């Protein structure tokens, strides 16, 4: 099964992209990189440029029904840029309607706030987003990983082992 990884053009926290990517592959699934624009995206290790990655398909061309799960990696710039890209917002809104797993870490959740997906949901994120989540009607908590139905959330790269474990378990059901 294909798993969608949605990112902006730059500012993706590399470990939050590559570690779940490896976990998805190891579990026998095929990760696909989706972005509002074709070409390559720029990842970062905190504030330092890291690797670039080739986009598989644009958000405008991707169909939510084609993916078993959606992963939203963090990175401050990634989360902020993604939420005002209309094709990305439409993809996430459409994916949320499927009820399939959505795994979000760090600042990746800003787009979930934009789509109204977090209202009434329990989740975690990088602590600086807690007010944004609460203002959007979410129940924010400071935990390593939170699973609320189909929504899996974590705070930071240090939480990746627990985040990846929950993502893989969600794909197995």
DSSP class per residue in the chain: -EEEEE--SEEEEHHHHHHHHHHHHHTT-EEEEEESSSSEEEEEETTEEEEEEE-SEETTT--GGG-SEEEE---HHHHHHHTT-HHHHHHHHHHHHHT--EEEEGGGGHHHHHHTTTTT-EE---GGGHHHHHHTT-EE---SEEEETTEEEE-SGGGHHHHHHHHHHHHH-
26 is catalytic: no
From the candidates 29, 46, 107, 158, give the one annotated as an active-site residue. Answer: 107
- Catalytic residue set: 107
């Amino acid at each position: 099964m294909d798993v969608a990884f949605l990112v902006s053009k730059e500012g993706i926290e590399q470990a939050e992209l590559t570690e779940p990517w490896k976990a998805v592959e190891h579990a026998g699934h095929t990760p696909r990189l989706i972005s509002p624009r074709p070409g390559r995206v720029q990842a970062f290790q905190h504030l330092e440029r890291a690797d670039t990655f080739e986009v598989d398909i644009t958000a405008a061309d991707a169909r939510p029904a084609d993916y078993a799960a959606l992963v939203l990696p963090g990175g401050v710039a990634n989360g902020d840029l993604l939420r005002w890209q209309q094709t990305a917002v439409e993809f996430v809104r459409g994916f949320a309607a499927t009820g399939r797993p959505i795994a979000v870490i760090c600042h990746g959740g800003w787009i979930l706030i934009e789509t109204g997906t977090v209202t009434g949901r329990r989740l975690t994120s990088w602590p600086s987003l807690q007010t944004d989540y609460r203002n959007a009607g979410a129940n924010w908590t400071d935990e390593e990983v939170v699973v609320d139905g189909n929504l899996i959330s974590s705070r930071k790269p240090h939480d990746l082992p627990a985040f990846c474990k929950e993502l893989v378990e969600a794909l197995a059901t």
